[in-house]
Chain A
Amino acid sequence: MDKYPKYISQEKQELFERYLLNEMDKAEQPAFLAKLDADASLKAEFNEFKKLFSAVEEASLHEKMNEYHKTFETYSSKEATSKKRFPFRINYGIAASVILLLSLGGIWYFNAGNKTEKLFDEFYSPDPGLPTVMGDTNNYDFYEAMVAYKHGDYDQAIEKWKKLLVTKQQNDTLNYFLASAQMAIGDEKAANAGFLKVIANKGSVFEDDAYFYLGLEALNRGAIPEAKSLLELSKKEASKELLNQLRKK
Protein backbone atom coordinates (compact mmCIF):
# COMPACT_ATOMS: atom_id res chain seq x y z
CA MET A 1 0.00 0.00 0.00
CA ASP A 2 1.24 3.48 -0.87
CA LYS A 3 2.40 5.67 1.99
CA TYR A 4 0.39 8.63 0.68
CA PRO A 5 -2.83 8.87 -1.34
CA LYS A 6 -2.20 8.66 -5.07
CA TYR A 7 -1.64 11.90 -6.99
CA ILE A 8 -4.41 13.09 -9.30
CA SER A 9 -4.48 12.18 -12.99
CA GLN A 10 -2.93 14.40 -15.65
CA GLU A 11 -6.40 15.26 -17.00
CA LYS A 12 -7.61 16.29 -13.59
CA GLN A 13 -4.52 18.42 -13.03
CA GLU A 14 -5.13 20.19 -16.32
CA LEU A 15 -8.77 20.77 -15.45
CA PHE A 16 -7.76 22.36 -12.15
CA GLU A 17 -5.13 24.45 -13.93
CA ARG A 18 -7.68 25.76 -16.40
CA TYR A 19 -9.85 26.95 -13.55
CA LEU A 20 -7.00 28.52 -11.60
CA LEU A 21 -5.58 30.21 -14.68
CA ASN A 22 -9.02 31.61 -15.49
CA GLU A 23 -9.17 29.78 -18.80
CA MET A 24 -12.67 28.31 -18.44
CA ASP A 25 -15.53 29.87 -20.36
CA LYS A 26 -18.67 31.28 -18.78
CA ALA A 27 -20.61 28.02 -18.93
CA GLU A 28 -17.77 25.74 -17.86
CA GLN A 29 -16.82 27.64 -14.72
CA PRO A 30 -20.12 27.34 -12.78
CA ALA A 31 -20.43 23.71 -13.84
CA PHE A 32 -16.96 23.01 -12.46
CA LEU A 33 -17.75 24.77 -9.17
CA ALA A 34 -21.00 22.81 -8.84
CA LYS A 35 -19.07 19.58 -9.36
CA LEU A 36 -16.64 20.54 -6.60
CA ASP A 37 -19.50 21.28 -4.23
CA ALA A 38 -21.09 17.94 -4.91
CA ASP A 39 -17.95 15.84 -4.59
CA ALA A 40 -15.97 16.16 -1.33
CA SER A 41 -13.02 14.07 -2.48
CA LEU A 42 -12.71 16.09 -5.70
CA LYS A 43 -12.81 19.24 -3.62
CA ALA A 44 -10.04 17.96 -1.35
CA GLU A 45 -7.91 17.10 -4.38
CA PHE A 46 -8.57 20.53 -5.85
CA ASN A 47 -7.63 22.29 -2.60
CA GLU A 48 -4.39 20.36 -2.37
CA PHE A 49 -3.53 21.17 -5.97
CA LYS A 50 -4.36 24.83 -5.43
CA LYS A 51 -1.87 24.94 -2.55
CA LEU A 52 0.84 23.34 -4.67
CA PHE A 53 0.13 25.85 -7.43
CA SER A 54 0.40 28.72 -4.91
CA ALA A 55 3.61 27.32 -3.45
CA VAL A 56 5.24 27.27 -6.89
CA GLU A 57 4.11 30.84 -7.46
CA GLU A 58 5.31 32.08 -4.08
CA ALA A 59 8.68 30.36 -4.30
CA SER A 60 9.12 31.84 -7.78
CA LEU A 61 8.14 35.28 -6.49
CA HIS A 62 10.91 35.05 -3.87
CA GLU A 63 13.45 34.38 -6.62
CA LYS A 64 12.07 37.30 -8.63
CA MET A 65 12.24 39.69 -5.69
CA ASN A 66 15.90 38.91 -5.17
CA GLU A 67 16.46 39.59 -8.86
CA TYR A 68 14.65 42.96 -8.59
CA HIS A 69 16.63 43.81 -5.49
CA LYS A 70 19.96 43.54 -7.31
CA THR A 71 19.26 46.98 -8.82
CA PHE A 72 19.39 48.45 -5.33
CA GLU A 73 22.47 46.52 -4.24
CA THR A 74 24.43 47.97 -7.17
CA TYR A 75 22.86 51.33 -6.54
CA SER A 76 23.61 51.38 -2.79
CA SER A 77 27.31 50.80 -3.30
CA LYS A 78 27.42 53.49 -6.01
CA GLU A 79 25.44 55.79 -3.75
CA ALA A 80 28.01 55.42 -0.99
CA THR A 81 30.77 56.27 -3.45
CA SER A 82 28.93 59.28 -4.83
CA LYS A 83 28.28 60.64 -1.37
CA LYS A 84 32.00 60.64 -0.74
CA ARG A 85 32.41 62.57 -3.97
CA PHE A 86 30.32 65.47 -2.67
CA PRO A 87 32.87 68.29 -2.90
CA PHE A 88 31.13 70.97 -0.87
CA ARG A 89 30.87 68.88 2.26
CA ILE A 90 34.58 68.21 2.27
CA ASN A 91 35.22 71.95 1.96
CA TYR A 92 32.73 72.57 4.72
CA GLY A 93 34.69 70.34 7.06
CA ILE A 94 37.96 72.08 6.21
CA ALA A 95 36.37 75.51 6.67
CA ALA A 96 34.92 74.49 9.99
CA SER A 97 38.28 73.19 11.16
CA VAL A 98 39.97 76.48 10.25
CA ILE A 99 37.35 78.46 12.13
CA LEU A 100 37.78 76.24 15.14
CA LEU A 101 41.44 77.13 15.25
CA LEU A 102 40.74 80.84 14.87
CA SER A 103 38.46 81.66 17.79
CA LEU A 104 36.16 80.55 20.56
CA GLY A 105 33.24 81.75 18.46
CA GLY A 106 34.50 79.29 15.94
CA ILE A 107 33.71 76.45 18.28
CA TRP A 108 30.05 77.40 18.19
CA TYR A 109 30.08 77.63 14.40
CA PHE A 110 31.77 74.30 14.10
CA ASN A 111 29.13 72.61 16.22
CA ALA A 112 26.27 74.26 14.38
CA GLY A 113 27.86 73.36 11.06
CA ASN A 114 28.32 69.80 12.15
CA LYS A 115 24.67 69.48 13.09
CA THR A 116 23.58 70.86 9.74
CA GLU A 117 25.93 68.57 7.91
CA LYS A 118 24.75 65.61 9.96
CA LEU A 119 21.13 66.38 9.15
CA PHE A 120 21.97 66.78 5.49
CA ASP A 121 23.77 63.44 5.47
CA GLU A 122 20.90 61.82 7.28
CA PHE A 123 18.26 63.03 4.88
CA TYR A 124 20.03 63.30 1.56
CA SER A 125 20.22 60.48 -0.87
CA PRO A 126 19.72 60.95 -4.61
CA ASP A 127 16.25 60.06 -5.89
CA PRO A 128 16.42 56.32 -6.65
CA GLY A 129 15.18 56.91 -10.20
CA LEU A 130 12.48 55.24 -12.23
CA PRO A 131 12.17 51.59 -13.22
CA THR A 132 14.08 51.10 -16.44
CA VAL A 133 12.22 48.22 -17.99
CA MET A 134 9.20 49.90 -19.46
CA GLY A 135 10.18 49.09 -23.04
CA ASP A 136 8.67 52.19 -24.57
CA THR A 137 10.88 52.84 -27.57
CA ASN A 138 9.83 56.51 -27.73
CA ASN A 139 11.63 57.09 -24.48
CA TYR A 140 14.63 54.92 -25.17
CA ASP A 141 17.15 57.77 -24.80
CA PHE A 142 15.58 58.87 -21.55
CA TYR A 143 15.76 55.38 -20.06
CA GLU A 144 19.27 54.78 -21.33
CA ALA A 145 20.32 57.78 -19.26
CA MET A 146 18.20 56.48 -16.36
CA VAL A 147 20.19 53.23 -16.38
CA ALA A 148 23.40 55.27 -16.07
CA TYR A 149 21.81 57.35 -13.29
CA LYS A 150 20.74 54.30 -11.33
CA HIS A 151 24.22 52.91 -11.59
CA GLY A 152 25.62 56.08 -10.09
CA ASP A 153 27.11 57.25 -13.39
CA TYR A 154 25.70 60.72 -12.97
CA ASP A 155 28.03 62.42 -15.46
CA GLN A 156 26.84 60.20 -18.28
CA ALA A 157 23.19 60.61 -17.27
CA ILE A 158 23.59 64.41 -17.23
CA GLU A 159 25.19 64.42 -20.66
CA LYS A 160 22.37 62.37 -22.19
CA TRP A 161 19.53 64.22 -20.46
CA LYS A 162 20.97 67.60 -21.40
CA LYS A 163 20.71 66.59 -25.07
CA LEU A 164 17.05 65.63 -24.60
CA LEU A 165 16.35 68.89 -22.79
CA VAL A 166 17.11 70.87 -25.94
CA THR A 167 13.76 69.82 -27.40
CA LYS A 168 11.91 69.22 -24.13
CA GLN A 169 12.64 72.31 -22.04
CA GLN A 170 9.44 72.11 -20.00
CA ASN A 171 9.42 68.36 -19.36
CA ASP A 172 9.22 68.04 -15.58
CA THR A 173 10.46 64.44 -15.45
CA LEU A 174 13.54 65.33 -17.43
CA ASN A 175 14.22 68.50 -15.43
CA TYR A 176 13.73 66.68 -12.17
CA PHE A 177 16.11 63.80 -12.85
CA LEU A 178 18.69 66.04 -14.50
CA ALA A 179 18.64 68.21 -11.37
CA SER A 180 18.85 65.09 -9.16
CA ALA A 181 21.95 63.94 -11.03
CA GLN A 182 23.48 67.42 -10.81
CA MET A 183 22.86 67.51 -7.08
CA ALA A 184 24.45 64.07 -6.72
CA ILE A 185 27.73 65.33 -8.25
CA GLY A 186 27.65 68.50 -6.18
CA ASP A 187 26.63 70.94 -8.91
CA GLU A 188 24.10 72.57 -6.61
CA LYS A 189 23.66 75.71 -8.70
CA ALA A 190 22.50 73.74 -11.76
CA ALA A 191 20.44 71.43 -9.54
CA ASN A 192 18.65 74.39 -8.01
CA ALA A 193 17.77 75.82 -11.41
CA GLY A 194 16.40 72.44 -12.50
CA PHE A 195 14.28 71.91 -9.39
CA LEU A 196 12.89 75.43 -9.78
CA LYS A 197 11.79 74.58 -13.33
CA VAL A 198 9.94 71.54 -11.95
CA ILE A 199 8.10 73.73 -9.46
CA ALA A 200 7.24 76.23 -12.17
CA ASN A 201 5.44 73.37 -13.91
CA LYS A 202 2.31 73.55 -11.75
CA GLY A 203 0.84 70.25 -10.67
CA SER A 204 3.96 68.26 -11.47
CA VAL A 205 4.09 64.88 -9.72
CA PHE A 206 7.66 65.77 -8.74
CA GLU A 207 6.72 69.02 -7.00
CA ASP A 208 6.98 67.70 -3.44
CA ASP A 209 10.30 66.01 -4.18
CA ALA A 210 11.66 69.15 -5.84
CA TYR A 211 10.80 71.28 -2.79
CA PHE A 212 12.41 68.65 -0.58
CA TYR A 213 15.71 68.73 -2.50
CA LEU A 214 15.63 72.53 -2.70
CA GLY A 215 15.20 72.59 1.07
CA LEU A 216 18.12 70.20 1.49
CA GLU A 217 20.30 72.32 -0.75
CA ALA A 218 19.48 75.41 1.35
CA LEU A 219 20.28 73.41 4.48
CA ASN A 220 23.59 72.41 3.02
CA ARG A 221 24.43 76.11 2.51
CA GLY A 222 23.48 76.75 6.13
CA ALA A 223 20.45 78.82 5.09
CA ILE A 224 18.17 77.38 7.76
CA PRO A 225 15.17 79.79 7.44
CA GLU A 226 15.19 79.29 3.65
CA ALA A 227 15.39 75.53 4.12
CA LYS A 228 12.43 75.61 6.49
CA SER A 229 10.20 77.61 4.18
CA LEU A 230 11.02 75.34 1.24
CA LEU A 231 10.38 72.19 3.24
CA GLU A 232 7.04 73.56 4.41
CA LEU A 233 5.94 73.53 0.78
CA SER A 234 6.64 69.82 0.39
CA LYS A 235 4.14 67.18 1.44
CA LYS A 236 6.80 64.47 1.52
CA GLU A 237 7.07 62.55 4.76
CA ALA A 238 10.82 63.11 4.81
CA SER A 239 10.28 66.88 4.47
CA LYS A 240 8.06 66.89 7.52
CA GLU A 241 10.59 64.85 9.50
CA LEU A 242 13.45 67.13 8.51
CA LEU A 243 11.40 70.20 9.33
CA ASN A 244 10.72 68.82 12.80
CA GLN A 245 14.41 68.24 13.33
CA LEU A 246 15.21 71.80 12.21
CA ARG A 247 12.59 73.25 14.52
CA LYS A 248 14.27 71.49 17.44
CA LYS A 249 17.58 73.18 16.65
Chain B
Amino acid sequence: MNQTKTNPFLARTQEETFTGVIQNNDLVLRSLYEGVYPKVRHYILQNNGSDDQAKDTFQEAFVTTWKNVKDGKLKKDNGLNVEAYLFTVAKNKWLDYLRSSRYKKTTRVDKVIHLRPDVEEEESEPDQGQDEMMAMQRAFKQLGEKCKMVLKLFYFERKSMDEISSELQITSASVRNQKYRCMEKLRLLSLEIKSNG
Protein backbone atom coordinates (compact mmCIF):
# COMPACT_ATOMS: atom_id res chain seq x y z
CA MET B 1 0.00 0.00 0.00
CA ASN B 2 1.61 3.23 -1.10
CA GLN B 3 0.78 5.50 1.78
CA THR B 4 2.84 7.68 4.05
CA LYS B 5 1.58 8.68 7.48
CA THR B 6 -2.11 7.98 7.38
CA ASN B 7 -4.51 7.09 10.10
CA PRO B 8 -8.07 5.87 10.44
CA PHE B 9 -9.39 9.43 10.51
CA LEU B 10 -7.68 10.40 7.27
CA ALA B 11 -7.89 7.30 5.14
CA ARG B 12 -7.47 8.41 1.54
CA THR B 13 -6.12 6.29 -1.26
CA GLN B 14 -3.47 7.55 -3.66
CA GLU B 15 -6.13 7.42 -6.39
CA GLU B 16 -8.29 9.84 -4.41
CA THR B 17 -5.28 12.09 -3.86
CA PHE B 18 -4.41 12.11 -7.58
CA THR B 19 -7.99 12.86 -8.60
CA GLY B 20 -8.26 15.54 -5.91
CA VAL B 21 -5.09 17.27 -7.09
CA ILE B 22 -6.21 17.17 -10.73
CA GLN B 23 -9.57 18.71 -9.80
CA ASN B 24 -8.07 21.22 -7.33
CA ASN B 25 -10.11 19.71 -4.51
CA ASP B 26 -9.65 22.04 -1.57
CA LEU B 27 -9.64 19.30 1.09
CA VAL B 28 -7.09 17.21 -0.77
CA LEU B 29 -4.80 20.16 -1.52
CA ARG B 30 -5.04 21.43 2.04
CA SER B 31 -4.27 18.08 3.64
CA LEU B 32 -1.37 17.56 1.23
CA TYR B 33 -0.01 20.97 2.20
CA GLU B 34 -0.58 20.57 5.92
CA GLY B 35 0.67 17.00 5.92
CA VAL B 36 3.98 17.52 4.12
CA TYR B 37 5.02 21.07 5.03
CA PRO B 38 6.09 20.29 8.63
CA LYS B 39 8.52 17.63 7.38
CA VAL B 40 9.99 19.97 4.75
CA ARG B 41 10.27 22.78 7.28
CA HIS B 42 12.08 20.50 9.69
CA TYR B 43 14.47 19.37 6.96
CA ILE B 44 15.27 22.91 5.81
CA LEU B 45 15.70 24.27 9.33
CA GLN B 46 18.11 21.41 10.04
CA ASN B 47 20.07 22.32 6.90
CA ASN B 48 20.90 25.99 7.37
CA GLY B 49 17.54 27.37 6.24
CA SER B 50 15.05 29.78 7.76
CA ASP B 51 11.28 29.65 8.15
CA ASP B 52 10.78 31.97 5.18
CA GLN B 53 13.04 29.86 2.99
CA ALA B 54 11.16 26.74 4.07
CA LYS B 55 7.89 28.33 3.04
CA ASP B 56 9.16 29.56 -0.35
CA THR B 57 10.90 26.29 -1.20
CA PHE B 58 7.89 24.22 -0.19
CA GLN B 59 5.44 26.35 -2.17
CA GLU B 60 7.62 26.08 -5.28
CA ALA B 61 7.72 22.31 -4.81
CA PHE B 62 3.97 22.22 -4.25
CA VAL B 63 3.34 23.96 -7.58
CA THR B 64 5.79 21.64 -9.38
CA THR B 65 4.10 18.56 -7.91
CA TRP B 66 0.64 19.89 -8.72
CA LYS B 67 1.69 20.57 -12.33
CA ASN B 68 3.33 17.18 -12.73
CA VAL B 69 0.23 15.38 -11.49
CA LYS B 70 -1.97 17.42 -13.82
CA ASP B 71 0.30 16.95 -16.82
CA GLY B 72 0.44 13.21 -16.23
CA LYS B 73 4.19 13.24 -15.53
CA LEU B 74 3.42 11.73 -12.18
CA LYS B 75 1.06 8.83 -12.72
CA LYS B 76 -1.05 7.08 -10.11
CA ASP B 77 -0.54 3.63 -11.63
CA ASN B 78 3.25 3.60 -11.27
CA GLY B 79 3.07 3.26 -7.51
CA LEU B 80 4.32 6.75 -6.72
CA ASN B 81 3.09 8.45 -3.63
CA VAL B 82 2.19 12.14 -4.05
CA GLU B 83 3.20 13.05 -0.48
CA ALA B 84 6.63 11.39 -0.79
CA TYR B 85 7.13 12.94 -4.23
CA LEU B 86 6.34 16.41 -2.91
CA PHE B 87 8.80 15.99 -0.05
CA THR B 88 11.54 14.85 -2.45
CA VAL B 89 10.94 17.72 -4.86
CA ALA B 90 11.16 20.21 -1.97
CA LYS B 91 14.29 18.55 -0.62
CA ASN B 92 15.95 18.61 -4.05
CA LYS B 93 15.04 22.26 -4.53
CA TRP B 94 16.65 23.08 -1.21
CA LEU B 95 19.79 21.09 -2.07
CA ASP B 96 19.97 22.90 -5.42
CA TYR B 97 19.77 26.19 -3.57
CA LEU B 98 22.53 25.17 -1.15
CA ARG B 99 24.77 24.41 -4.12
CA SER B 100 23.90 27.59 -5.95
CA SER B 101 26.35 30.45 -6.30
CA ARG B 102 23.80 32.69 -4.54
CA TYR B 103 24.14 30.59 -1.39
CA LYS B 104 27.87 29.89 -1.65
CA LYS B 105 28.69 33.59 -1.88
CA THR B 106 27.57 33.98 1.71
CA THR B 107 28.42 30.60 3.17
CA ARG B 108 31.46 28.41 3.61
CA VAL B 109 31.37 25.62 1.03
CA ASP B 110 32.38 22.92 3.52
CA LYS B 111 29.09 23.45 5.32
CA VAL B 112 27.17 21.87 2.49
CA ILE B 113 29.36 19.28 0.82
CA HIS B 114 28.01 16.43 2.92
CA LEU B 115 24.59 16.89 1.38
CA ARG B 116 23.73 14.60 -1.48
CA PRO B 117 20.90 15.11 -3.95
CA ASP B 118 18.00 12.78 -3.63
CA VAL B 119 17.65 11.44 -7.13
CA GLU B 120 14.92 8.91 -6.61
CA GLU B 121 12.31 11.28 -8.06
CA GLU B 122 12.73 13.26 -11.21
CA GLU B 123 11.84 16.87 -10.88
CA SER B 124 10.80 18.12 -14.24
CA GLU B 125 9.80 21.67 -14.81
CA PRO B 126 10.43 22.78 -18.35
CA ASP B 127 11.18 26.47 -18.75
CA GLN B 128 9.51 26.70 -22.15
CA GLY B 129 6.82 29.31 -22.16
CA GLN B 130 7.73 30.34 -18.62
CA ASP B 131 7.80 34.05 -19.52
CA GLU B 132 4.42 33.83 -21.14
CA MET B 133 3.01 32.08 -18.09
CA MET B 134 4.52 34.71 -15.77
CA ALA B 135 2.98 37.47 -17.89
CA MET B 136 -0.41 35.77 -17.72
CA GLN B 137 -0.21 35.39 -13.97
CA ARG B 138 0.81 39.01 -13.56
CA ALA B 139 -2.13 39.96 -15.73
CA PHE B 140 -4.45 37.90 -13.53
CA LYS B 141 -3.31 39.88 -10.49
CA GLN B 142 -4.11 43.11 -12.31
CA LEU B 143 -7.68 42.10 -13.11
CA GLY B 144 -10.51 43.63 -11.10
CA GLU B 145 -11.74 41.71 -8.06
CA LYS B 146 -15.00 40.68 -9.78
CA CYS B 147 -13.16 39.20 -12.76
CA LYS B 148 -10.66 37.39 -10.56
CA MET B 149 -13.46 35.89 -8.52
CA VAL B 150 -15.45 34.61 -11.50
CA LEU B 151 -12.39 33.09 -13.16
CA LYS B 152 -11.14 31.56 -9.93
CA LEU B 153 -14.49 30.00 -9.09
CA PHE B 154 -14.91 28.54 -12.57
CA TYR B 155 -11.41 27.46 -13.62
CA PHE B 156 -9.78 26.68 -10.28
CA GLU B 157 -12.57 25.70 -7.96
CA ARG B 158 -14.46 24.07 -10.82
CA LYS B 159 -17.84 25.42 -9.73
CA SER B 160 -20.85 25.26 -12.01
CA MET B 161 -22.56 28.34 -13.48
CA ASP B 162 -25.42 27.87 -11.04
CA GLU B 163 -23.13 27.63 -8.05
CA ILE B 164 -21.23 30.75 -9.08
CA SER B 165 -24.50 32.51 -9.79
CA SER B 166 -25.81 31.87 -6.28
CA GLU B 167 -22.47 32.66 -4.66
CA LEU B 168 -22.09 35.98 -6.44
CA GLN B 169 -25.81 36.81 -6.47
CA ILE B 170 -25.92 37.35 -10.24
CA THR B 171 -27.76 35.46 -12.98
CA SER B 172 -26.18 32.47 -14.73
CA ALA B 173 -26.28 34.37 -18.02
CA SER B 174 -24.33 37.14 -16.38
CA VAL B 175 -21.75 34.69 -15.06
CA ARG B 176 -21.35 33.24 -18.53
CA ASN B 177 -20.79 36.66 -20.12
CA GLN B 178 -18.48 37.88 -17.39
CA LYS B 179 -16.40 34.76 -17.67
CA TYR B 180 -15.96 35.36 -21.38
CA ARG B 181 -15.22 39.09 -21.06
CA CYS B 182 -12.79 38.53 -18.17
CA MET B 183 -10.88 35.88 -20.08
CA GLU B 184 -10.66 38.25 -23.05
CA LYS B 185 -9.38 40.98 -20.73
CA LEU B 186 -6.86 38.61 -19.18
CA ARG B 187 -5.49 37.74 -22.61
CA LEU B 188 -5.22 41.38 -23.65
CA LEU B 189 -3.44 42.35 -20.42
CA SER B 190 -1.04 39.41 -20.82
CA LEU B 191 -0.17 40.43 -24.36
CA GLU B 192 0.43 44.02 -23.21
CA ILE B 193 2.67 42.87 -20.36
CA LYS B 194 4.58 40.55 -22.66
CA SER B 195 5.15 43.15 -25.35
CA ASN B 196 6.21 45.79 -22.81
CA GLY B 197 8.64 43.35 -21.25
Q: Give residues in A with beta carbon < 8 Å to B.
A: 4, 7, 10, 13, 21, 48-49, 51-65, 68-69, 71-72, 76, 122, 125, 128, 130-131, 133-136, 139, 142-143, 172-173, 205-206, 209, 237-238, 241
Taken together as a complex, chains A and B put the C-alpha atoms of A183 and B55 apart, in Å, by 26
Taken together as a complex, chains A and B put the C-alpha atoms of A53 and B133 apart, in Å, by 10
22 contacts between A and B (CB under 8 A): A4-B191, A10-B177, A51-B129, A54-B133, A55-B133, A55-B190, A57-B156, A58-B67, A58-B133, A59-B140, A60-B151, A65-B62, A68-B29, A72-B34, A131-B10, A131-B31, A133-B27, A136-B9, A173-B7, A205-B5, A205-B6, A209-B5
Contact between A128 and B38 (Cβ–Cβ < 8 Å)? yes
Residues of B within 8 A of A60 (CB): 24, 151-152, 155-157
Residues of A within 8 A of B157 (CB): 60
Contact between A13 and B9 (Cβ–Cβ < 8 Å)? no
Contact between B183 and A206 (Cβ–Cβ < 8 Å)? no
Given A51-B129, A54-B133, A59-B137: A130 touches B10 (CB 8 Å cut-off): yes
Given A21-B158, A69-B55, A173-B7: A56 touches B30 (CB 8 Å cut-off): no
Q: Please give me the residue from chain A that is nearest to B134 by CB atom.
A: A55
Residue-wise interface mask of B (34-67) relative to A, using a CB-CB cutoff of 8 A (1 in contact, 0 not): 1101100111001000010001000100110011
Q: Flag whether B141 is at the interface (Cβ < 8 A).
A: yes
Contact between A61 and B156 (Cβ–Cβ < 8 Å)? yes
Q: Flag whether B84 is at the interface (Cβ < 8 A).
A: no
Q: Flag whether B8 is at the interface (Cβ < 8 A).
A: yes
Contact between A56 and B152 (Cβ–Cβ < 8 Å)? yes
Contact between A65 and B155 (Cβ–Cβ < 8 Å)? no
Contact between A48 and B187 (Cβ–Cβ < 8 Å)? yes
Residues of B within 8 A of A53 (CB): 155
> Given A10-B177, A52-B183, A63-B152, 14 more contacts at CB 8 Å?
A7-B183, A7-B184, A52-B190, A57-B24, A58-B63, A58-B67, A59-B141, A62-B137, A64-B29, A72-B34, A122-B46, A133-B31, A134-B27, A205-B6
Q: Flag whether B112 is at the interface (Cβ < 8 A).
A: no
Residues of A within 8 A of B122 (CB): none
Taken together as a complex, chains A and B put the C-alpha atoms of A112 and B125 apart, in Å, by 47
Contact between B156 and A142 (Cβ–Cβ < 8 Å)? no
Q: Flag whether B33 is at the interface (Cβ < 8 A).
A: yes
Q: Flag whether B103 is at the interface (Cβ < 8 A).
A: no
Contact between A134 and B63 (Cβ–Cβ < 8 Å)? no
Interface residues of B in 129-158 (CB under 8 A from A): 129, 132-133, 136-137, 139-141, 151-152, 155-158
Interface residues of B in 183-197 (CB under 8 A from A): 183-184, 186-188, 190-191
Residues of A within 8 A of B27 (CB): 131, 133-135
